[in-house]
């Protein structure tokens, strides 16, 4: 039509924020499912590496998904080069969750303590993501 200004095409991110969040939470579930599976397979069948390998793969894949989608979510929030403290806290928790597979495999006799440790890590990451305290 004449007299109507043309709209500029707005650049859309490759994925919506909610889609990234769903993928991120799926990675979280995969990571902790893998951790619990590593712990359970180490307790139930320490001599059988087959099931443990499957759970370690789930754990590793979940960690990669968490890392990639986590940084994609920070980009969508408009956070640039200077990362706030709560993101660095989540990176530290991500490293601790990654090391927790080894702890679960080697110290499986402390099952309850390790499960509490998993809970503390998940709750800490959730607290940082929701409240963004620093």
At 41-83, the pLDDT tens digits run 999 988 888 889 999 999 999 999 999 999 999 999 888 788 9
Among 100, 90, 83, 92, which residue's Cα sits nearest to residue 35?
100
| Residue 18 and residue 46 in contact, taking contact as beta carbons nearer than 8 Å | no
The C-alpha atoms of residue 69 and residue 23 are separated, in whole angstroms, by 7
User: Residue 3: pLDDT band by 50, 70, 90 thresholds?
Assistant: low
pLDDT of residue 46: 81
For residue 2, pLDDT beyond 80: no
What does pLDDT average to over the chain?
A: 90
Look at 2 and 79; give whichever has higher pLDDT: 79
User: Residue 26: pLDDT band by 50, 70, 90 thresholds?
Assistant: very high
Q: What pTM does this model have?
A: 0.85
pLDDT of residue 12: 67
């Amino acid at each position: 039509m004449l007299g109507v200004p043309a709209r500029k095409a707005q650049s859309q991110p490759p994925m919506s924020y909610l889609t990234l969040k769903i993928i991120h939470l799926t990675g979280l579930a995969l990571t902790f499912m893998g951790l619990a599976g590593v712990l359970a397979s180490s307790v139930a069948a320490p001599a059988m590496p087959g099931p443990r390998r499957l759970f370690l793969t789930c754990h590793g894949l979940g960690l990669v998904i968490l890392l990639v989608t986590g940084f994609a979510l920070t980009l969508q929030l408009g956070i640039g080069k200077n990362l706030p403290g709560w993101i660095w806290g989540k990176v530290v928790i991500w490293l601790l969750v990654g090391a927790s597979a080894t702890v679960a495999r080697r110290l499986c006799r402390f099952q309850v303590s390790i499960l509490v440790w998993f809970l503390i890590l998940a709750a800490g990451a959730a607290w940082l993501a929701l409240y963004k305290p620093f």
